[in-house]
Structure 1
Amino acid sequence: MKTIKARTLFDLPVTESRLDEAIERGELRRRSGLQATAVAFLDPCLAVSFEDGSGVLLPVKNYSEFDGFEAEDFTRLKVGYSGTALCHEGKDLHVSIAEMISACPPLMAMATSIVASRNGRQSSSAKAEAARANGKKGGRPRKVDVAP
């Protein structure tokens, strides 16, 4: 998991255009998918719930960010950054949920399989035209065995 160093933010005056840009960035982030709504500690895992009612269990032993955490520390974790991170203010910890999921090989293998399956079902206009042409000819031609 990569560590991101905090940037120093300067006091910039809030203008209508900056406010509009911030609102637009927030909307883009909200619509981009991953929106956690809650986190709970179910020893030895963190249960992260999402907007649509789904959830994922992540074993805390797999993440060095939680080394030294006690059970009470886990109960103080909150969802932050528009549902994209787990935050613990007392320990100044902010961990990306997407990065936690991507660091789990079984979850990534499942995600890869799902994406491949979904992409295989997509039909381009060229594929659809080829299927119609083959249908007019009686379907896909049979394979012919060529004797060596």
Structure 2
Amino acid sequence: MTIQAKNGFDEVVTPEVLQRAVALGRSRHRGSIHAQSLRYLPDTRALMITFGDQTAIVLPVENYSELAALTGRELQQLSLCFAGSALCLNDRDLHVSIAGLMAMSQPLLEVAKTVAASYNGSLRTLAKAVASRENGKKGGRPRSLTHPGSV
């Protein structure tokens, strides 16, 4: 099977085309990690990664084998790359995903799971709507059992 590549370079950029491209870029930007700044904290030998809303995470360098071998000077030279989704040190050809670093921390992973579960639980899905209708046909949510002697 051969897939023919599209060449969109000759497409006229109308206001509508530009608006679609900007909307696509915004939607892609929302779905991934984009750090705004990176600071090395030599006192604690940690990296502070700050995001657009001024929230930040602090990652101890010693917890990550890729970073633990770096000197203080090299840690100072780390920079953000790939649109803020990775840390880079060109002298060592080092590119480390911020999401990957966060996933290696069990507490951060648990926080992410909790946030995702909370968010996904509040979404109204087709499955939830169907289950709710079926439950309603049966008389609604079952009453909680009361203990003998309680009012």
TM-score scaled to structure 2, two decimals? 0.67
What is the rounded CA distance, in whole Å, between the counterparts of 1:60 and 1:90 in structure 2? 18
Matched, 1:126 2:130: yes
What is the rounded CA distance, in whole Å, between the counterparts of 1:38 and 1:144 in structure 2? 54
Alignment match, 1:41 = 40
What is the rounded CA distance, in whole Å, between the counterparts of 2:82 and 2:8 in structure 1? 22
The one-letter code of the counterpart of 1:34 is I
Counting aligned pairs with the same residue, the percent is: 30
Alignment match, 2:60 = 59
Map 1:1-148; keep pairs closer than 5 Å: 16=9, 27=25, 29-42=28-41, 43-123=44-124, 124-129=128-133, 140-143=141-144
In structure 2, the residue corresponding to 1:58 is in which secondary structure? strand
CA separation of 1:141 and 1:65: change in aligned 2, threshold 3 A: closer
The one-letter code of the counterpart of 1:109 is E
Question: In the TM superposition, what is the alpha-carbon distance from 1:52 to its structure 2 partner?
Answer: 2.3
TM-score scaled to structure 1, two decimals? 0.68
Q: Which runs of 5+ in 1 are unaligned?
A: 1-13, 18-23
CA deviations on 1:40-94 (whole Å, 9 max, x unpaired) are 1113211001122211111110111123312111111110011110011122111
What is the rounded CA distance, in whole Å, between the counterparts of 2:58 and 2:86 in structure 1? 15
What is the rounded CA distance, in whole Å, between the counterparts of 1:119 and 1:63 in structure 2? 30
The one-letter code of the counterpart of 1:41 is Y
In structure 1, the residue corresponding to 2:142 is in which secondary structure? coil
What CA RMSD, in Å, does the superposition of the two structures yield over aligned residues?
A: 3.0
Alignment match, 1:9 = none
What is the rounded CA distance, in whole Å, between the counterparts of 1:114 and 1:57 in structure 2? 19
CA separation of 1:16 and 1:40: change in aligned 2, threshold 3 A: same
CA separation of 1:16 and 1:47: change in aligned 2, threshold 3 A: same
User: Does the aligned pair in 2 maintain the 1:30–1:82 contact within 8 Å?
Assistant: no
The one-letter code of the counterpart of 1:125 is A
CA separation of 1:144 and 1:70: change in aligned 2, threshold 3 A: closer
CA separation of 1:121 and 1:131: change in aligned 2, threshold 3 A: farther
